[in-house]
Amino acid sequence: MGQQPEVLIQGANTTLGASGKAKVILEWAASPSPIDASCFMLGPSGTVSSDAHFIFYNQPRSPLGEVELTASGERASVFEVDLAGLKAGHVEKFVFAAVLDGSGTFGDVQGFSVKVEYAGRTISCPFAGTDKEAALVLAEIYLYKESVKLRAVGKGFDGGLGPLAKSFGVDVEGDPAENELTDVASAAASSFSPDIVPSAALTSSASSAVEEQPDQPLGRIDLLKKKVAISLEKKQIARQKAKVAVVFDASGSMNKLYKNGTVQRAFERILAIAANMDDDGTLDVWMFALEFVRAAPAHASDYEGYVNRVYPFKGAGGRNNEPAVMQDVIQKFTVEDSDPSIPVYVVFFSDGGVAETKKISRLLIESSLHPIFWQFVGLGESNYGVLRKLDDLPGRMVDNAGFFALDDIDTVGDEELYDRLFEEFPDWLREVKAKNILRE
């Protein structure tokens, strides 16, 4: 008797080996339309590095052979994957998806299953399609620290392959609009064979990937909002509303970043999050040094020159005092403007000099009882103290904070920045909902 397959429920993960070959098998008994399987090879930014890293039946092999679509038939598709092809800084994740090329949804597909075969194991990833889904993200094989893991995803996209491809960074921009995705498929496929013809699935989905162009050029915040929306969709929180706030370090060492416009540009990128997610489109703003100020709330309609208008410390702003401003943020969202049905998302910028470990820890523990998530961002490689140890901070009801540092925020692309800003937020949302801290 053969070994029973392991079952990996939606959202769960399991560890694979760091090398060797795996098979990802999609099978179904009946379908109202052909099913096209695809794989997106994503880098650290959460997007493909080139269209050649989008694998489908008209482009069945990646440039270095890490992923290959070896079978594509009426009832099954099979990928062969080299796990050693996952490398930090290059390709860190293989995402597998399926799209109906024609009428119907995955609610009409009978006997659909996804299996992963690796090192003598068979892992089944079950999920049920619905009457709304014509495209599904099925599973992902990804690099985590020194391990390679498999996660069952099972999430749908209503719009088909167009928005799915766009969300992973495949270039679907172009003119004329009706030829966008066909051109992508042709250009990418031509690097492998001059005889390859664009996929019918891409051609039929082209119109769904293009948004109607406005009469007037889009402003900076509108353009950034589109990139926020793509990142939220990738993180599967596209419809999530939240109160959005930003806290800027205004100590003396930050003075240059205020003068050269870096803080204004960072502010604009966070304002786009508020314009997309915030329950009233308003961004709450704090600036702090030894003391702090609550600045006037920011709106997308009046963002130009905002930082210069509200910057309270003309010249050096003294040293950091994070606990005082953190306490005021907590006061604002737990007393003055408390709503346990709406999460609060706080982006906190600091260039280091974080020394008040006990006070910061106490405030994070206190705020873990409320639906407040802190995303700390370091500006440069400096002394961030307790912020580098947030994942190990004991005593909290939930893990309510994340941290990453950037050498130069102006050199980081919008897509990469938003993907990093939302890296831990979805997991926190699930946990606070499960513990009734966020009361829907």
CATH number of 6-209: 2.60.60.30
Q: Which amino acid is at 287?
A: M
Cα–Cα distance, 421 to 244 (Å, whole number): 12
Give pLDDT, residue 207: 29
250-268: b or e for each residue (b if 16 or more CB lie within 10 Å)?
bbbbbbebbeeebbbebbb
Q: Parallel, antiparallel, or unpaired for β 278-288 and 292-294? A: antiparallel
Q: Where are the domains of the chain?
A: 6-209, 221-434
What's the burial of 107, exposed, middle or buried (CB within 10 Å: 0-12/13-18/19+)? middle
Cα–Cα distance, 244 to 373 (Å, whole number): 10
Give pLDDT, residue 158: 60
Give pLDDT, residue 242: 94
Phi then psi for 44, rounded to 5 degrees? -65, -20
Comparing 6-209 with 221-434, is the CATH topology the same?
no
Written as one string, the DSSP assignment of 136-194 is EEEEEEEEETTEEEEEEEEEEETT-HHHHHHHTT-----SSGGGHHHHHHHHHHHTT-T
Check if the beta carbon of residue 271 is closer than 8 Å to that of residue 221.
Answer: yes
**Residue 315, Cα to own-chain centre: how many angstroms?**
37
3.40.50.410, 1.10.10.10, 2.40.30.10, 3.40.50.2000: which CATH number matches 221-434?
3.40.50.410
Give pLDDT, residue 187: 43
Q: pLDDT of 202-229, one tens digit each?
A: 333 322 333 333 333 346 788 888 889 9
Q: pLDDT of 307-333, one tens digit each?
A: 999 988 765 456 788 999 999 999 999
Cα–Cα distance, 229 to 153 (Å, whole number): 19
Give pLDDT, residue 113: 87
Q: Enumerate residue ranges in the chain where pLDDT < 70.
A: 1-3, 128-131, 157-160, 172-219, 279, 314-318, 381
Find the Cα–Cα–Cα–Cα dihedral 422, 409, 42, 277, rounded to 10°: 30
Check if the beta carbon of residue 66 is closer than 8 Å to that of residue 41.
Answer: yes
Close Cβ partners of 220 (under 8 Å, ≥ 6 residues apart): 268, 303
Cα–Cα distance, 404 to 418 (Å, whole number): 12
Question: Closest Cα partner for 268 from 302, 313, 218?
Answer: 302
Check if the beta carbon of residue 354 is closer than 8 Å to that of residue 320.
Answer: yes
Question: Closest Cα partner for 18 from 103, 117, 87, 94?
Answer: 87
Give pLDDT, residue 179: 39
Give pLDDT, residue 334: 96
Cα–Cα distance, 100 to 201 (Å, whole number): 8
Give pLDDT, residue 68: 96
Give pLDDT, residue 167: 77
